[in-house]
Amino acid sequence: MEQRHLGRTGLRVSRLGLGTMTWGRDTDEQDAADQLKAFVEAGGTLVDTADVYADGGAEYILSQFVGDLVPRDELVIATKAGSVPDPDRRFDTSRGHLLGALDSSLERLGTDYVDLWQVHAYDPATPTEETLATLDLAVSSGRARYVGVSNYCGWQLTKAATWQRAVPGRTPLASTQMEYSLLQRGIEREVLPAAMDSGVGLLASSPLGRGVLTGKYRHGTPQDSRGASPYLSGFVQPYLDERGRAIVDAVATAADGLGCTPLQVALAWVRDQPGVSAPILGARTAEQLRAALSAESLNLPEEIGEALDDVSAPVHYYPDQDWQQL
């Protein structure tokens, strides 16, 4: 699998990443082992997790495989911190919470350091400077090699990235993780241009439009799908509208013409967008993951990429870029 630099840093990651959000919840330890084995055999290195996935269970399951199934130095382990189980405060990126969360993650992961440590989301209750200084401390103490953010809007990312590069001794942000797919191109308005301008690599979550771009919902809702789950149906529903159907149909048409699957087409489109370092693949089973990994060999013809761009184009209003020409 091709390796790419993560933003404007020396860290190289596989251009497809493995997500672990289902581990310990929908994916048991044996299935998780099968996923990791398939991923590594395909040349993958980037494994993304978080301290809140299965209440820490995903990190613990990953620790069971490192060393035995795959050497530690062959993985780029990324985790996140900042989410809290508090109905009045969804995120806490204060120094006290973050450093405690990092130590707990390292204990669960069974490692002395993580390759990439990410703030899970912006916390308006904590000064940005305090959060960023905590990222610096994680690096200077050796507990993290690189740092990034997640779910930051354009101005938040620009503020954080500029601060880190402008102040001597600070650790530049390596990455930002955001949802990005043919069904969700909102980050193209400000976040993606900000990331590219700041030298921050994008890790694209939900690159298959929460599963909708695989085409599984074209003729109904499968009983074993997220769309049929009482807990996750609301997560899928926004992409099952008329616009979503038109995009899925276009992806399916492209796949038919190329002799491949809609999944491969949708994933290759995200992977090859400017500024993207790696899409993060989330799968319940090793079989699903292998199907996604097969997109590595697909290169979309330019005319198909342009057609998909057109059918899924987001609406840009004032004051987005190029508004003067409207």
pTM: 0.94
Q: With 0-12 CB in 10 A as exposed, 13-18 as middle and 19+ as buried, what is 25?
A: middle
Q: Calculate the average pLDDT of the chain.
A: 93
> Which residues of the chain carry a pLDDT beneath 50?
326
Q: Give the whole-angstrom CA distance, residue 44 versus residue 82.
A: 27
Residue with tokens 């979503």: 244
Question: DSSP states of 117-165 as a string?
Answer: EEE-S--TTS-HHHHHHHHHHHHHTTSEEEEEEES--HHHHHHHHHHHH
Number of other residues whose CB lies within 10 A of the CB of residue 220: 10
Residue 53 annotated in active site: yes
Q: What domains appear along the chain, each with residue ranges and CATH number? A: 3-210+266-299 (3.20.20.100)
**pLDDT tens, 106-147?**
999 999 999 999 999 999 999 999 999 999 999 999 999 999
pLDDT score at 217: 82
Q: Residue 130 in contact with residue 156, Cβ under 8 Å?
A: no
Strand 144-150 versus strand 114-119 pairing type: parallel
Q: Give the whole-angstrom CA distance, residue 43 versus residue 23.
A: 21
Q: Give the whole-angstrom CA distance, residue 202 versus residue 276.
A: 5
pLDDT score at 13: 98
Secondary structure class of 181 (helix, strand, coil): strand
Alpha helices (H) along the chain? 29-41, 57-63, 95-109, 128-140, 154-166, 191-198, 233-236, 242-258, 262-271, 286-293, 302-312
**pLDDT tens, 48-65?**
999 999 999 999 999 999
pLDDT score at 85: 85
Q: Residue 79 in contact with residue 50, Cβ under 8 Å?
A: yes
Which DSSP symbol is given to 211? T
Q: Residue 260 in contact with residue 253, Cβ under 8 Å?
A: no
Nearest Cα to 50, choosing from 271, 280, 284, 290?
280
Number of other residues whose CB lies within 10 A of the CB of residue 174: 29
pLDDT score at 77: 98
Four-CA torsion 182, 183, 184, 188, nearest 10 degrees: 40
Helices (H) and strands (E) in the chain, counts: 11, 10
Computed on alpha carbons and rounded to an integer, the radius of gyration of the chain in Å comes to 19
Q: Residue 199 in contact with residue 172, Cβ under 8 Å?
A: yes
Q: Give the whole-angstrom CA distance, residue 250 versus residue 168.
A: 49
Catalytic residue among 53, 122, 146, 217: 53
Contacts of 77 (CB under 8 A, 6+ apart): 47, 49, 62, 66, 109, 111, 114, 115, 116
Q: Give the whole-angstrom CA distance, residue 244 versus residue 225.
A: 17
Number of other residues whose CB lies within 10 A of the CB of residue 10: 9
Nearest Cα to 89, choosing from 123, 119, 135, 53?
123
Residue with tokens 């809290």: 84
